[in-house]
Amino acid sequence: MSMQSHLAELEKKHRALNEQINDCQAHPAVDDLEVVELKRRKLLLKDEIERLRLSEHDSVH
């Protein structure tokens, strides 16, 4: 898998988690721990995306 396609897949997962978080927060009976876990996973994806972008940028220069 190329770096670009891997980044695109991670970004897709990040957007999906964001949508899932928004859906959960729209319902008053949502489990707060579930939202916290989704946000944690989203943050991990964001960190991975940034790490890959930086490594890609460093390898170009």
Q: What is the pLDDT of residues 3-46, one digit of tens each?
A: 899 999 999 999 999 999 999 999 878 889 999 999 999 999 99
Beta strand ranges found along 1-61 (DSSP E): none
Higher-confidence residue: 47 or 27?
47
Distance, CA of 44 to CA of 42 (rounded, Å): 5
Residue type for 11, please? E
Place of tokens 């978080």: 21
**Residue 26, token pair as written in the block:** 């729209």
Cut 0.75: pTM above it = yes
pLDDT the model gives residue 20? 96
Contact predicate 45/17, CB 8 Å: yes
| Cα dihedral: 4, 11, 47, 58 (round 10) | 20
pLDDT the model gives residue 61? 62
